[in-house]
Structure 1
Amino acid sequence: MRFLDLFAGAGGLSEGFVREGFVPVAHVELWESACYTLKTRAAFHYLINHNQEDTYASYLRGEITRDELYSNVPKEILDSVICKEIGDKTLPSIFSKIDSLKGQNDIDLIVGGPPCQAYSLAGRARDPNGMRDDKRNYLFLYYAKFLRKYHPKYFVFENVIGLLSAKDDDGVSYLDRMRAKFREIGYNTKYQVLSADDYGVLQNRKRIILIGKRTTEDFEYPLPEVVQSRYTVGAIFSGLPKINAGEGNYRYYSPRERHSQWLDDAHIFSNFPITYHCARPNSVKDLEIYRRAVELWNTQQKRLSYSDLPARLKTHTNQSSFLDRFKVVAANIRSSQTVVAHICKDGHYYIHPDIDQNRSLTPREAARLQTFPDDYFFESVSGKPSRTDAFKQIGNAVPVLLAQKIAGKLREVWEE
């Protein structure tokens, strides 16, 4: 079952489908850093399948360059990542590239979701015009062009729950417009709001997952079975070295043998070197706030309100809203707060629960919340590790385990 991944980001959605036996023909993504991440992950899969694990491990340890890593991989594997913005000017070249990659074979499935900022509740609240003028509102029309050209049996369209309420200038729901467009080109659609913590992810992350099938008849939504997790969020920290703010290593730590069973169940733990376990530095004021937030949670199971801080620690002019801007990723509950791309700007909403470490999450810990495996490496354009780029890619991704559950159920329906 061969698929295209549109607006692919760092590849969380794709990775879940690959785990279930789907084969990627191409990934299309605008951001160059994310494209390198996709290429490196494609290289990983190729090298693993050809018994060249040591080459990939050498790369994670920084012993070989990215170019040297890529030199061990066929060019067509790397070329399957198409680094272009999807638009009227680029569509012909994107289609041409995909056609050359797929040859005479069909595309069975298309997955992906356009950037969500135009539909998100937060984005609309910040924008004076409610994001109605944002061109990203209509990226689904390009998605439809791919459906029209390649006629896949199914497609999987992912987006934020703000899509349920987002409307255009005529007061028509964008979701309704999407479904009407997809129906016009031969696809019946159904959608559900899925919460990642129902499927083994230790994060409260709700997303609309719209499934389209090439049929005019009704069909049953391939809803994955809910997983009753026995783990708490503290499992994500298992086996990682303890570090303080400003400490850590971009390149590698040796994985520890003793770790939570959840890391195995979620397919996160591996024997490859662990990268991006590096904490951002913080000011003395921030670290005092972090300590207060952790102590309040540990002693009273209460969240810190910004309004309760002493005046000497308050630096924000807005003191009437977003009062939980400093928030602990509590280890003793079943799901954390949602990981979002804003984590690339500061870690105040993602404070480590260990008061002795007194810091915000590292990219590796955030990646574990998104169920990226420990051997997943997040790239930058320069080839040098970038904590900011890694955080942004991680925050924008679909949790890999959620994607895998969707893929597994879809494969089950497909085979039936």
Structure 2
Amino acid sequence: MVKYTCIDSFCGAGGLGLGLQQAGFDIRLSFDIDNRCIKTIEANKKYFSHPAFTADINDMLDGRALNICKMQRGELFLLAGGPPCQGFSVQRRGADEDPRNQLVFKYAQLVDELYPRYFVMENVSGIAGKRGKTILEELLDKLKNIGYTVHIKLLDAQNYGVAQRRKRYIIIGERSDMGVNYEYPKEMEKHYTVRDVIGSLPEPPEDGSDYPGISLHRRDRLSEINLKRIRALKPGQGREYLPKELLADCHKIDSSVIGYRNVYGRMAWDEVSPTITARFDSFTRGKFGHPEQDRSISLREGAMLQTFPKDFLFTGSKVDMARQIGNAVPPLLAKQIGTSIIDCYKRSGKI
């Protein structure tokens, strides 16, 4: 029987790997250039037992990944990864020459070396936009030339059981000898809300410490002006509802003109959350205010909205942890993608 072996490249804090593992994959190796992410993987012995390395993708080429996993080319079942893609982000300007854009081609090189039955690559929606389109087309050509049928679709996590608006391209490759059988997971009818996920959590202590027994569930101290701002807002409201005297000078232009209308906002209890970003820990960076309490959401609340388990550990500074949480693939979405790949294999008739 084929083992659903997997290498998790650009693994981050392990959101994609955790979900794939829940779907039935046997992760043989994780790697990421950020040592803080690897420390997070290593801290979660309850969830991960495979080797994890601090490594650049170049360190895993020329047979290194195969040697670590004691595999031959073509033996691996799945290569997974989300090459850093901030150069494609719609929030960045002048990022066309961002060197991280080239990492998607290194990922294609790794696909060629490993030649797995399947691969999955996650990327921001901007990869198909004005700046990313040329790179995306070149990437898809490379992958097809290596010998893969490639599927690409923009998925919104809120349609797959995640209480969050989060649009990401999911690129799936099927090796030519596996046939063409892949189908993306079906969208769910039910949408979960902020209340469903964090509504039962107790209010964290006023002194900034963790709530007893719930790690990372603590409040940030807000400045006096930000306390006034959040107290002026009802659940679901953003900065366009603030009185002018509470607006920063740069936000006094109408939000419909300059965008970024969700800074200084509160989440709504009975809707999905906005995208949990790498700076969701800051009230000034998005609609990250708690629906009722006068604070931004805690690190634990952000992780739960990303569908990490309540006891999943994160390492590093507060900023490090927020970045790891915000950059992760929601494990629940990853699980459904993993299940869809296993289902695809079962339809191939290769079992």
Give the alignment's TM-score, normalised by structure 2.
0.88
**2-structure distance, mates of 1:363, 1:210:** 29
User: Is 1:283 matched with 2:223?
Assistant: yes
Aligned to 2:25: 22
CA apart distance, 1:45: 3.0
Aligned to 2:290: 352
CA apart distance, 1:121: 0.9
Contact 1:30 1:84 in 2 (8 A): yes
Aligned to 2:167: 206
**1-structure distance, mates of 2:57, 2:46:** 26
Percent of paired sites with the same residue? 30
Rate the CA distance shift 1:192–1:221 in 2: closer, same or farther, 3 A: farther
CA apart distance, 1:346: 4.7
Aligned to 2:302: 366
Aligned to 1:144: 108
Aligned to 1:119: 88
Any residues of structure 2 matched to 1:151-230 within 5 Å, and which?
Answer: 151-167=115-131, 173-215=134-176, 219-229=180-190
**2-structure distance, mates of 1:292, 1:245:** 20
**2-structure distance, mates of 1:92, 1:232:** 42
For these two proteins, the number of residue pairs brought into alignment is 337
Aligned to 1:331: 269
**2-structure distance, mates of 1:244, 1:290:** 18
- Range that drifts further, 314-323 or 109-118: 314-323
Residue 112 of structure 1 aligns with an amino acid whose one-letter code is G
Any residues of structure 2 matched to 1:288-327 within 5 Å, and which?
Answer: 288-294=228-234, 297=235, 302-305=237-240, 308-311=242-245, 313-320=246-253, 321=258, 322-327=260-265
Contact 1:236 1:369 in 2 (8 A): yes
CA apart distance, 1:188: 1.5
Contact 2:84 2:100 in 1 (8 A): yes
Residue 11 of structure 1 aligns with an amino acid whose one-letter code is G
Rate the CA distance shift 1:363–1:309 in 2: closer, same or farther, 3 A: same
Listed as ranges, the gaps of 5+ residues in structure 2 are: none
CA offsets, 1:74-124, max 9 Å, x none? xxx56x21101223xx3458x42551333569311001111121111111x
CA apart distance, 1:405: 0.8
Contact 2:182 2:344 in 1 (8 A): no
**1-structure distance, mates of 2:150, 2:326:** 27
- Range that drifts further, 213-222 or 143-152: 213-222
CA apart distance, 1:284: 1.3
Aligned to 1:37: 40
Listed as ranges, the gaps of 5+ residues in structure 1 are: 47-76, 255-273, 381-385
CA apart distance, 1:235: 1.6
Rate the CA distance shift 1:104–1:152 in 2: closer, same or farther, 3 A: closer
SS in 1 for 2:250: coil
CA offsets, 1:60-86, max 9 Å, x none? xxxxxxxxxxxxxxxxx56x2110122
Rate the CA distance shift 1:388–1:202 in 2: closer, same or farther, 3 A: same
Aligned to 1:415: 346
Rate the CA distance shift 1:246–1:253 in 2: closer, same or farther, 3 A: closer
Residue 198 of structure 2 aligns with an amino acid whose one-letter code is F
**1-structure distance, mates of 2:177, 2:142:** 13
Give the alignment's TM-score, normalised by structure 1.
0.75
Rate the CA distance shift 1:154–1:217 in 2: closer, same or farther, 3 A: closer
Aligned to 1:401: 332
Residue 98 of structure 2 aligns with an amino acid whose one-letter code is D
CA offsets, 1:261-293, max 9 Å, x none? xxxxxxxxxxxxx31101111111101101112
User: Is 1:253 matched with 2:212?
Assistant: yes
Contact 2:283 2:289 in 1 (8 A): no
**2-structure distance, mates of 1:233, 1:21:** 28
Contact 1:8 1:27 in 2 (8 A): yes
